[in-house]
Amino acid sequence: MAKRILVTGGAGFLGSHLCQRLVAKGNDVVCLDNLFTGRRENIDRLLDEHAFQFIRHDICDPIVLEVDEIYHLACPASPIHYQRNPVRTIRTCVQGTLHALELAREVGARVLIASTSEIYGDPLTHPQQEAYWGNVNPIGPRACYDEGKRCAEALAVSYARQYDVQVRIARIFNTYGPRMHENDGRVVSNFVVQCLRSRPITIFGQGQQTRSFCYVDDLIDGFIRLMASGVSDPVNLGNPAEFTILQLAQMVRGMTGSSSQLLYEQLPEDDPVRRKPDITRAVEQLGWHPEIKLEQGLEKTIADFRRRIQHET
Ligand code: NAD
Ligand code: UDP
């Protein structure tokens, strides 16, 4: 049966893909966004659909809507954006999540919280399992986001315990794909844009730090399975294939046919050294695992950026 579903942060990178998938599955979707890092053009094609509605609203202000499910994604995700106004980031993580949970409680909706691998901080175990409590610097430059998201998880489990709200917690690992903002500073978008514009590829530190990159379509599939499941514990969603940042740079350079040089810059403070999800829980309890290999996903991502850059000129 079709549901009425709220997606906060629905005009952002992940949110817009999620809205598109939910509408395609026959649901009525309300997309709420204050357009801080999101863009109207991400949801342009959905605006003509009867089943889609856009509300410009800041989730730090309360809202009441009759919905069956809430995907709560509203929050800047890239370090340059979440560090620009750290107080606002904390407010969005804490007050915004409080409002999403309060709405869920009021209307009896199930709510999925977009958490992050950042709650593990610079992890001391590898790969990261959900049982790991993390190694987060509570006063560093990433604290506004990391601790904000940890508080969002604490709020979610507290609403579940105290008020029986049905919560789902997705711990998302680095996800990439078409529609990433070209200036959002994340590594995949930076490298692709730098290669396509024949600019130097900025490697922070020696590029030996690792990340595991999940293609957006796989992640959205994981979101939808998690929401439909009975799993109220946090679930890691990500692609366990691990790459150094240098390997990623070389791959993007090769695939774009670029001759951009590598430019080594200072490693940002508290930049996690290694990151790779243990996805046993998602595999066993959701029957989910990512299908798209990095090279395939990069191909689609590069094609999207190429189109956008050509469009500009
Ligand atoms: P994004 O910046 O593209 O999207 C975030 C959206 O939230 C934007 O549209 C922005 O305008 C909106 N927003 C921000 N503050 C808001 C507020 N106060 N009220 C209403 N809307 C607000 O980032 P994304 O990559 O799509 O991330 C979406 C969610 O997933 C975030 O919660 C992020 O923390 C989480 N996440 C993403 C990744 C990833 O690799 N993409 C990894 C871990 C976690
Ligand atoms: N990074 C890099 N060059 C860039 C952008 C990022 O070397 O132009 C590195 C960054 O230091 C980090 C990794 O790539 O080690 C992933 O960075 P991103 O900001 O995408 O995500 P996060 O650090 O939140 O995982």
Atom 1 of ligand 1, residue of closest alpha carbon: 12
Task: Kindly report, residue by residue over 215-244, the tens digit of the pLDDT.
Answer: 999 999 999 999 999 999 999 999 999 999
* DSSP string for 191-212: HHHHHHTT--EEEETTS--EEE
**Residue of 145, 211, 274 to test ligand 2 pocket, by largest number of atoms within 8 Å of CB:** 211
Answer whether 148 contacts ligand 1 (Cβ < 6 A).
no
Place of tokens 């046919």: 257
- Kindly indicate the confidence band of residue 312, based on its pLDDT and cuts at 50, 70 and 90: confident
Kindly report the number of other CB atoms within 10 A of residue 287's CB atom. Answer: 9
Task: Measure 188 CA to ligand 2 centroid, in angstroms.
Answer: 8
* CA distances, 233 to each of 72, 77, 179, 214, 264 (Å): 16, 22, 30, 21, 40
Asked whether the beta carbons of 191 and 243 are under 8 A apart, the reply is no
* Closest ligand 2 atom number to CA of residue 267: 11
Which residues carry out catalysis?
A: 145
**Residue of 31, 35, 36 to test ligand 1 pocket, by largest number of atoms within 8 Å of CB:** 36
Buried b (16+ CB within 10 A) or exposed e, 256-268: bebebeeeeeebe
Task: Kindly report, residue by residue over 2-51, the tens digit of the pLDDT.
Answer: 899 999 999 999 999 999 999 999 999 999 999 999 999 999 999 999 99
Measured N-to-C along each axis, helices 216-228 and 13-24 cross at an angle, to the nearest 10 degrees, of: 60
pTM: 0.97
Residue ranges of domains in the chain, CATH in brackets: 4-176+214-239+274-291 (3.40.50.720)
Pocket of ligand 2 (CB under 6 A): 78-79, 174, 186-187, 190, 202-204, 209, 211, 245, 268, 271
Task: Kindly report, residue by residue over 65-84, the tens digit of the pLDDT.
Answer: 999 999 999 999 999 999 99
